[in-house]
Amino acid sequence: MVRSFVNFEDLNKDEVLEVIDYAFYLKKNPFSDKSLQNKSIGLIFMKPSTRTRLSFEVGVYQMGGQPIYILGSSTQLSRGEDVKDTARVMSRYLDGIVIRTYSHQEVEDLAKYGSIPVINALTDYQHPCQVLADLMTIKEKFGKLEGLKLAYIGDGNNMANTLLIACAMVGINIAIATPPMYEPNSKALQKALEFAKETNVSIEITNNPQEAVKNADVLYTDVWVSMGQEGEKDKKQVFKGFTIDKNLLKLANKNAIVMHCLPAHKGEEIMEDVFEEFSDVIFEEAENRLHAQKSLMSFLFK
């Protein structure tokens, strides 16, 4: 049976934990898994990328496979070819697809009409590979996931949506603070509430950052203006007061850490002194993209 990772909930809790645990093994033994030997993995990028492209290309190489970078504008997709036709063609050439794009529906259709596994490397709705690495990093720092609290401060974007679902699934309490009208997607919230019934975690959606960070073990943020929203110049004015700074950090637990999925706009969603104080955590988080994604590819592609 072909399985894809389009939405974070495409894996269940046990599978997520299995992928994370194997990622720790691969971090110590980077060339030990050769499950992509003689396999070709298409990496479709409709959006620019640094960490996602590098981590997947290096990961496929380390696992013995052939990474094929495909710039979206160089394909027939950019000229109006149906996604379902592209999916059926690529399924005859490739052993797996990784795609970073704008529309979540595009990834859903690739997985629906193709006959090979598809990994969502970012859409406007979810960023599940990033959150796998985030959970790995949190476990690395605290030795556990269940019972912790994560506070997300900023835009209710794809990161907020995915963190909501993932935290509720694995037993992390979560509070999300956004300006009014910028709350997370209602579909993501509903899915998170379903998981919360099973794991007994608390979910808080608020417009008050100070309230959100109380008793938090992890403070998390992302850019206010995501790729493709550059024209929304007034958005930055709306987000004043939603910056992770020293004063906000003081309201969290004493040993709290700060995380950021990068790139960071210092002085906006996070102050530079806070960023530098937790830079070791943030760049460990970035490195863990490689290990978590290799583990995921081993799970899906072999």
Q: Which domains does the chain have, with CATH numbers?
A: 8-126 (3.40.50.1370), 130-285 (3.40.50.1370)
Q: Mean pLDDT over residues 15-25, rounded?
A: 98
pLDDT beyond 80 at 226:
no
Q: Mean pLDDT over residues 208-221, rounded?
A: 98
Per-residue model confidence (pLDDT) at position 232: 65
Q: Which residues are catalytic, by number?
A: 100, 127, 130, 222, 261, 289
Q: Mean pLDDT over residues 149-171, rounded?
A: 98
| Angle of CA points 295, 27, 54, to nearest 5° | 70
Q: Mean pLDDT over residues 225-232, rounded?
A: 65
Contacts of 138-146 with C-beta under 8 Å, sequence gap 24+, read 138/172, 138/218, 138/259, 139/20, 140/24, 140/284, 140/288, 141/257, 141/281, 142/217, 145/170, 145/171, 145/172, 146/170, 146/171, 146/172, 146/199
List pLDDT tens digits, range 230-256. Answer: 556 678 899 999 999 999 999 999 999
Per-residue model confidence (pLDDT) at position 36: 98
Per-residue model confidence (pLDDT) at position 233: 64
Distance, CA of 141 to CA of 51 (rounded, Å): 21
Give backbone dihedrals phi and psi of 270, rounded to 5 degrees, phi first: -150, 140
List pLDDT tens digits, range 99-116. Answer: 999 999 999 999 999 999
- Rounded percentage of the chain residues whose pLDDT exceeds 70: 96
- 120, 126, 4: which is closest to 52 by C-alpha? 120
